[in-house]
Structure 1
């Protein structure tokens, strides 16, 4: 397995956001983490990437316990994230934003190859490579956030709500790109409110409710689970 979370507990002050959750992501998988607003999905992602300290439990990545490791060191080990809200640098150009994704790397020739790969994956970014990130549309900024994360050459890519605020046509395009990224060899942990799209493309999934894992299974099992259909797919 590439990522193993065991009995993870996380606090926001006196509020317990995660209640001893456990999950596994195997190499080569797309794993979806679905749930309502406030369920703890983004909190889980921030714990994995090192942006939130954990109270109890462990995070093991590729056999190494990274629970207390600094966030930047987790990036160098192979954990990349496209955060909720995209977080592009608005005053920097598209190319400068992408270059920031490779700030931990020194292999210039390989960085150039990855830049070409990202611009091939996102032709819209290639067209706007000299444009300021803050002037891009929401969909373009999402592409930029994913591309920037890919520039770190992650083994595990954390995608937090990649379809948020996008038009249906762009949502379909983003998920097609996610599938393509996975087929090229990147393991993906996906947090997404669009449960239909997420579970349709995931090998496995987990359902998070009020900081607890309440269901797990293959993407297809969860997609056809009556309780999941009623709660997250709008099917009574």
Structure 2
């Protein structure tokens, strides 16, 4: 198991955002967290990447407890995140944004980064066309591609994708999910948080349904997609 979350609880002040969360992500797989807004999905990703403090529980990465490891060191260990809302650097070019994705790497020479640049531009040909464009002037879909590409520049073993399809046109959503499948096929483990539950479950090897900070149902993507209560609540019947 590449990632193990054990009995995890996280607070925002006095509010318990997630409680008693336990799940794992197998190396080489795609796992997804689905649930309504406010269920704790994004908080879970932020806690795994080191942006939220743990109240109780453990986060194990490749068997090592990383609960007290700073966020930038988690990137060096092999965990990278594409955040909700994209979070690109709007005044920097596409190339500069991608460079920032490799900031925590120890091997930052041009020769070391070239294969990763090439990989990102092959996955996202649109970025190649926009390589010198300022990120803030790009469309929402292009910024989403840039956020994902930037996360891959860290050469992660596990990439955390937070709402990659949010606000995108249906045709572009399909394209983003095809790219996620390809990222996984190239050997990167994926943990996906996604409002588009139907697409996420179609893609995922394993899936977990969160309600008010707790996992209430787990299984394969297919099992949750065909569960009548999940279908009724999250997939439109």
Which residue of structure 2 lines up, in the alignment, with residue 209 of structure 1? 211
> What's the RMSD between the two structures over aligned residues?
0.6
Look up the match of 1:42. Answer: 42
Q: Which residue of 1 aligns with 2:146?
A: 144
Residue 174 (structure 1) aligns with:
176
Q: Distance in 2 between matches of 1:144 and 1:84?
A: 13
Aligned pairs for 1:41-190 (under 5 A) are: 41-107=41-107, 108=109, 109-190=111-192
Q: Which runs of 5+ in 2 are unaligned?
A: none
Q: After superposition, what is the alpha-carbon deviation per residue over 1:193-221, rounded to whole angstroms, capped at 9, x for unaligned?
A: 10010000100100000000000000000
Distance 1:126 1:207 in 2: 37
| Residue 120 of structure 1, CA deviation | 1.0
Once the 2 structures are TM-superposed, how far is the Cα of residue 106 of structure 1 from its aligned partner?
3.6
SS at match of 2:86: coil
Unaligned runs of 5+ in 1: none
Distance in 2 (CA, whole Å) between partners of 1:193 and 1:232 is: 9
Q: Aligned-pair distance for 1:103? A: 0.6
Tell me the alpha carbon deviations over residues 153-194 of structure 1, each in whole angstroms, 9 at most, x when there is no partner.
000000000000000000000000000000000000000010
Structure 1 ranges of 4+ moved more than 6 A: none
Query: Which string of whole-angstrom CA distances, capped at 9 and with x for unpartnered residues, describes residues 24-77 of structure 1?
Result: 000000001000000000000000000000100000000110011100000000
Counterpart CA distance in 2 for 1:96 and 1:112 is 14
- The answer to whether residue 21 in structure 2 is matched with residue 18 in structure 1 is no
Q: Distance in 1 between matches of 2:43 and 2:93?
A: 29
